[in-house]
Structure 1
Amino acid sequence: MDVFDGIKKQIEHRSLLAVLVDPDKVSPNSEDALVDHIAASKADLVFVGGSLIFSDIDGLVERLKARISKPVILFPGLSSHFTPKVDAVLFLSLLSGRNPDFLIGNQVHAAIPILRSGVEVIPTAYILIDGGSTTSVEYMSNTKPIPANKPDITLATAAAAQLLGFKMLYLEAGSGAQHHVPSKTIRTLKQQLSLPMIVGGGIRTEKALREVLDAGADIVVVGTAFEEDASLMDRFCEIVSQHRGKER
């Protein structure tokens, strides 16, 4: 079964937890412990990526896949981040901004290598929402996030993504954000659109995790919190597992 088909089947019944691994934030000393923790956890997916990547992403993905049975999915910041080693790639377009490099430019550069690789592609609308601080993705993409108190703009942007044929939405507050994507925004999109919804950024506490789950996130992405304290992974997995019994 393809990665995307597997995700769709799972989210019919429950939410999923994805662990975000940034190659530049994993040191040789910490990598083994992190991979062991992910492998032993009940996390559903592993996302690999970041706004800037100077490390060996191919090698990291190979080591992850050698020890982890969960799908490893590329979450690229630039076209140069592509690696054919992954199980699937989120083919992102930053629809919340108006910078052509991130709307279509990087995608043109990456398209032929991805097509020739045979890696599964998941066309994903990437929507940046203000998380209370300037994040790496905002700075690197030279785009403004949608204001957190403007769910109508987010809804219109996400609706355009659905009409354009994207397969998933990725609502992003950004790495290191002070606040996660507002629950009202998640709930509004969940009620009015049919696209599976990924939510990431600013999810550092159990309370924040519960809020985005209750609002309707299909996949919750956590990175910084696990970088700072890997032991949180077990507790977050437990919360997502408990939430699986609720009506979707």
Structure 2
Amino acid sequence: MSLPADGKKNHSFVYKPFSDMQTAQPVYTTFCENKQKGKKTFAVLIDPDNIDLPRLNHLIQLAEEAQVDYLLIGGSLVITDHLDTYCKHIKQHTHIPLILFPGSPAQLSRHVDALLYLSLISGRNAELLIGQHVLSAAAVKQSGVEVISTGYMVIDGGVPTTVSYISNAAPIPADKDDIAMCTALAGEMLGKKIIYMDAGSGARYPISERMLRRVAEQISLPLIAGGGIRDPETAYRMARAGADVIVVGNAIEKDPELIRDMATAIHSVPAMMS
């Protein structure tokens, strides 16, 4: 049994070694199947900079109990060297699919189920449209990780966020639904497999239901939405509006117990068959 950082055994934590894990479907397949069924899913975002190992164990346990659908790991910055270690630790201790949500080519681990290969289609920074992908392509290929081509859209959440600063790209204004819709539609036509709309970590307010509905009505791809979601009611409304996967990070860092209520709310959205 592994030990937390303080060297003491955590008897309440259930470890799931690799030998007990079943062969899983490709993550992208689950995205598409859930969308086809109208099933809304919940992803918890883990920022390696903001969590230590004992808290990570607690979060994994809560996620298992709440039947969280996905775990995302990564961030716009990631200044610690914990990413690969945490990815390996998570994969050893839970069946929940682990997806890398990288902020740079340096954020890569083979100890994940899939990688969101993000192209910032809402911005005009060529480095984040294709430049950094050229730098990372060979390493990504060698990793053997499932790659999911992702049209990434940053939406104004009311305050400057790390992702908008790092990307040097203005977010789509929160009230410009048509721009968001056309951007997502262009992403689909360019061959992206999923669309990820993000108000960013620490956003003052989440993406509006109106904008999500406008985008969801026009694209056939799985739609992920995150940023600024602090309560189960908001998560529920965003899923009802058309988001297929709801991502919550900051609020859970502050109060991990929110995982249960968030999962219950999102999973209670009535299925709407595509």
Partner residue of 2:245? 219
Give the whole-Å Cα distance in 1 for the aligned partners of 2:235 and 2:134.
35
The alignment partner of 1:81 has SS state of coil
Partner residue of 1:12? 36
Per-residue CA distance 1:25-57 (angstroms, 9 max, x = gap): 112342221222222221100000101112221
Partner residue of 1:193? 219
Give the whole-Å Cα distance in 2 for the aligned partners of 1:226 and 1:101.
31
1:69 aligned to which of 79, 82, 95: 95
Counterparts of residues 112-191 of structure 1 (less than 5 Å)? 112-191=138-217
Give the whole-Å Cα distance in 2 for the aligned partners of 1:183 and 1:24.
30
Q: Which amino acid aligns with 1:106?
A: Q
Give the whole-Å Cα distance in 1 for the aligned partners of 2:194 and 2:91.
24
Cα distance, 1:240 vs structure 2: 1.5
The alignment partner of 1:178 has SS state of coil
In structure 1, runs of 5+ residues without a counterpart are none
Cα distance, 1:153 vs structure 2: 0.8
Question: Aligned residues: percent identity?
Answer: 38
Q: Which amino acid aligns with 1:237?
A: A
Per-residue CA distance 1:159-205 (angstroms, 9 max, x = gap): 11011000000000000101111111110111111111000000111
Partner residue of 2:68? 43
Q: Which amino acid aligns with 1:15?
A: K
Please tell me whether residue 52 in structure 1 is matched to residue 70 in structure 2. no
Counterparts of residues 205-216 of structure 1 (less than 5 Å)? 205-216=231-242
State whether residues 233 and 265 of structure 2, in contact with CA within 8 Å, keep that contact through their aligned partners in structure 1: no
Give the whole-Å Cα distance in 2 for the aligned partners of 1:215 and 1:241.
14
Kindly tell me the number of residue pairs found equivalent between the two proteins. 247
Give the whole-Å Cα distance in 2 for the aligned partners of 1:165 and 1:247.
25
Moved over 4 A (4+): none
Identify the range of structure 1 (137-146 vs 3-12) with the bigger mean alpha-carbon deviation.
Answer: 3-12
Identify the range of structure 1 (59-68 vs 203-212) with the bigger mean alpha-carbon deviation.
Answer: 203-212
In structure 2, runs of 5+ residues without a counterpart are 1-24
The alignment partner of 2:171 has SS state of coil
Structure with the greater alpha carbon radius of gyration: 2
Cα distance, 1:210 vs structure 2: 1.8
The answer to which structure has the higher helix fraction is 1
How large is the Cα RMSD of the aligned pairs? 1.1
Give the whole-Å Cα distance in 1 for the aligned partners of 2:178 and 2:232.
27
Partner residue of 1:231? 257
Partner residue of 1:32? 57
Query: TM-score normalised to the size of structure 1?
Result: 0.96
Q: Which amino acid aligns with 2:67?
A: K
Give the whole-Å Cα distance in 1 for the aligned partners of 2:272 and 2:186.
28
Cα distance, 1:86 vs structure 2: 0.8
Give the whole-Å Cα distance in 2 for the aligned partners of 1:219 and 1:79.
24
